[in-house]
Structure 1
Amino acid sequence: MDKHQLIECHERIKPYIHNTPVLTSHLIDQMVGASVFFKCENFQKMGAFKMRGAANAIMQLPKALQQKGVVTHSSGNFAQALSLAAQGLGVKAFIVMPKNAPQVKKNAVKGYGGIVIECDPTLEARERQARMIEEEHGATFIHPSNDDNVILGQGTACKELLEVYPNLDYVVAPVGGGGLIAGTALAAHYFGNPCQVIGGEPLEVDDAYRSLQSGTIETNSTTNTIADGLKTHLGDRNFPIIQNYVSQIIRVTEDEIIEAMRMIWERLKIVCEPSSAVALAAIFSKKLQFKGKKIGVIVSGGNVDVNNLPF
């Protein structure tokens, strides 16, 4: 994926996304000993960066396929993103969700016009149900993170950040399925001056960290983390990009994630979800490395259950 594809993608999706604000905090700068710039995708439409990739993936489909709709399986932010993006483009979105997904998430998807199809809470059941919808309706499957057009869309957040602050030394983003970190890495490679990309990952689900070490896509045997958006593993489309362009992945503990999340709420006065706080937690855990540097942070989303905060 080249620079021109990223530029074209950004121009394409601009009418359907927000160019989100960048916030700073003197106190956080003092604590880190660096200048930190927070790209606030919690202010994105539907509350997360995933709107970008969803919009681009749908818009890249030929009109004939758009008329048959799109399908994905997700109980998280991509379910909402694909629903809202599809609604804005006049396309049907079939969303396969596990039966045990929180009702508030199912309601959010329906509120954005998504057609919810429930299934058993296993990956096998989700994939089987999605295939059935593909066959029955002719809908096109769009993966939440392992899709070139999704990756390009997610990269536009970092591109916007670098348009405002072109001389960043680092951009740090959370790592889950790999779409955001891969897109961020492409944007930093093409538009940075130069700029290294670092991933933040929970110690409890450190599959990306291990994948970079082993050279093959690793999975997790447990998913015991508060960062519920980061439980998925990398895919064959985003992993090579991560191998080429991500310089490091920093693992953080659950306590470090909670402390960083509290810091963002208290000091930036914004709502972020635990997954978003992983990037700041990574910076705090390696202060010496970041001392005196200019660091961008992708605050990936703000879709959090306020009745169930960890602090």
Structure 2
Amino acid sequence: MESVTLDDIEAAAARIAPVVRRTPTVESRVLSDRVGAPVLLKCENLQRTGSFKPRGAYNRIANLSADERARGVVAASAGNHGQGVAWAATELGTASTVFMPLGASLPKLVATRAYGADVHQVGHTVDEALIAAREFADRTGATLIHPFDHPDIVAGQGTVALEILEQVPDVATVVVPTGGGGLLAGVAAAMHALAPHVRVIGVQAADAAAWPSSLAAGAPTALPKMATMADGIAVGLPGAVPFAEVAALGTEIVTVDEDALAKALVLSLERAKLVVEPAGAAGVAALLTHAIPNLEGPVVAILSGGNIDPLLLTRVIGHGLSAGGRYLELRVTIADRPGALSALLAVVGAAEASVVDVSHSRTASTLAVDEVEVSLTLETRGPAHRDEVLKTLRDAGFGVRAEP
């Protein structure tokens, strides 16, 4: 299979330079302190359409012939690739059609239409949407713009690495959120050509990690199932083009769990003041959990996207705060008599925890006739304070069950 060369990536950089943003790379003091080495964030969440995807999409469509562009382009996407294709096609005067799953995020659906695409919702997964996109291409003559499995896409995504080398010339490690592998392969190819000493590491969500088993098998291998909040990297089968590049270069892959993704998103929002989607925060999650052995700095973590549904953001923030010890959910059994709930809340107040939510039930089968179960959600100052609140309640004689 033809590999992606430095010439391909540099040509893509020249091609897209007039239209894409040169995104900033900013230092993160909190991450630097956590990992013991300088950490910088490459803010592709600030790219046009909110992710790195326009780089590859524009490069791919710009390379089509006039006749191919006249027949239009088609894509399948959960959101970011579709927005990138829609924007790039409009920039180049080409009609675009995007197939999205029925459960696609409403903001991503609306944005894809706003960038100029004719959007159809089909199936429940990107794979099902891709089948529909292929059928549309066969029927109409439109060119399928695959999200990651094409040399032009990989070359376009590799332009991120050229910017990193210009912005952080002494970079030692680059951490890359990874789904189908287009961004990872492009970055790895560019680094191998220009700075082979730089360590490139892909990060996958643990419950949607097709790359480790694929690399072990020596060929792209489909996952039987996957489930993650990080829809931008939820890809069940690596692309053949990126796989060949990544495997040949010996690029490493690590995984992170859902709690780590949620904590990373909250940290990016709270400390870096950057809105990042769960997939875009995967590199930060790997750094927070020390998932990368023998890490050397300076480290650049690519924030690959910032397109997150506000409803999901609300849930993920809550999950991240809970995982970080900032929320405490517990159940307490108290006597069913006047003043008992007030006494419980007085102890909570004395422990300096803030009540977020409180409810009580008399109907649980485990309760005696004179008992009430109180469910509390408390805001705490972190893991140490969380433990202090629990100890204070138990020392006061309350039977407490903390939710995991």
Which residue pairs with 1:58 in the alignment?
Answer: 61
Counterpart of 1:238?
A: 242
Report deviation, 1:277: 1.2
The answer to whether 1:254 aligns with 2:258 is yes
Deviation by residue 1:3-25 (Cα, 9 ceiling, x = unmatched): 11111110001112000011112
Q: Deviations over 1:62-90 (max 9, x none)?
A: 11111111111112200111000111111
Question: In the TM superposition, what is the alpha-carbon distance from 1:193 to its structure 2 partner?
Answer: 5.6
Aligned residue number for residue 137 of structure 1: 140
Amino acid at match of 2:240: D
Matched position secondary structure for 1:303 = coil
Distance 1:99 1:166, change over 3 A: same
More moved, 8-17 vs 128-137: 128-137
Task: Give how far 1:221 is off.
Answer: 2.4
Between stretches 79-88 and 113-122, larger displacement belongs to 113-122
1:283 aligned partner: 287
Q: Helix, strand or coil for the counterpart of 1:308? A: helix
Say which of 63, 69, 91 aligns to 2:94: 91
Corresponding residue of 2:267: 263
Alpha carbons of 1:61 and 1:221: their partners in 2 closer, same or farther (altered >3 Å)? Answer: same
Instruction: Indicate the residue corresponding to 2:378 in structure 1.
Output: none
**2:201 corresponds to 1:198:** yes
Greater shift after overlay, 248-257 or 287-296? 287-296
What is the Cα deviation at residue 245 of structure 1?
2.2
Give the alignment of 1:80-159 within 5 angstroms. 80-122=83-125, 125-159=128-162
Q: CA deviation at 1:286?
A: 2.7
Distance in 1, matches of 2:125 and 2:92, equals: 30
Q: Is the contact between residue 32 and residue 287 of structure 1 (CA under 8 Å) also seen in structure 2? A: no
C-alpha distance in structure 2 between counterparts of 1:156 and 1:103, whole Å:
29
Query: Which structure has the larger Rg?
Result: 2
Aligned partner of residue 30 in structure 1, secondary structure: helix
Q: Tell me: CA distance 1:166–1:201, structure 2 relative to 1, closer, same or farther (3 Å).
A: same
CA distance change for structure 1 residues 40 and 288 in 2, over 3 Å: closer, same or farther? Answer: closer
Instruction: Report if aligned partners of 2:42, 2:300 keep a CA contact under 8 Å in 1.
Output: yes
The amino acid that maps onto 1:169 is A
Alpha-carbon contact 1:158-1:298 (below 8 Å) kept: no
- State the one-letter code of the partner of 2:12: C
Tell me what 1:212 maps to. Answer: 215
For these two proteins, the number of residue pairs brought into alignment is: 311
Q: Which moved more, 1:24-33 or 1:98-107?
A: 98-107
In the alignment, what sits opposite 1:76? Answer: 79
Corresponding residue to 1:40 among 40, 43, 50: 43
On the 8 A contact 1:201/1:278 being kept in 2, the answer is: yes
Which 4+ residue blocks in structure 1 deviate beyond 4 angstroms?
A: 122-125
Q: CA deviation at 1:203?
A: 1.2
- Give the match's secondary structure for 1:200: strand
Instruction: Answer whether contact 1:39 1:297 (CA < 8 A) is retained.
Output: yes
- Listed one character per residue, the Cα deviations across residues 193-218 of structure 1 (whole Å, up to 9, x for unaligned) are 62110011111112112212221212
The separation in 1 between residues aligned to 2:38 and 2:87, in whole angstroms, is: 34
Residue among 163, 185, 198 paired with 1:182: 185
1:34 Cα deviation from its structure 2 partner? 0.6
* Bigger relative CO (Cα 8 Å, ≥ 6 apart): 1
* Structure 2, unpaired ranges of 5+: 318-404
* Corresponding residue SS for 1:15: coil
Partner of 2:324: none
Shift in Å at residue 163 of structure 1?
1.2
Deviations 1:81-135 (A, max 9, x none): 1000111111101111223323332211110000112323356643442233223
Would the aligned equivalents of 1:217 and 1:234 in 2 still touch at CA under 8 Å? yes
CA contact (8 A) 2:72 2:143 kept: yes
Q: CA RMSD in A?
A: 1.7
Range with greater deviation from structure 2 (164-173 or 189-198): 189-198
2:21 to 11, 18, 21: 18
Q: Aligned with 2:293: secondary structure? A: helix
**Structure 1 stretches of 5 or more lacking a match?**
none
| Kept in 2: contact 1:167–1:195 (CA 8 A) | no
The TM-score normalised by the length of structure 2 is: 0.74
What residue identity is the alignment partner of 1:249? I
From the superposition, tell whether residues 134 and 247 of structure 1 become closer, same or farther in structure 2 (CA, over 3 Å).
Answer: closer
Alpha-carbon distance in structure 2 between the residues aligned to 1:291 and 1:185 = 17
Letter in 2 for 1:283: L
Structure 2 counterpart of 1:307, from 298, 307, 311: 311
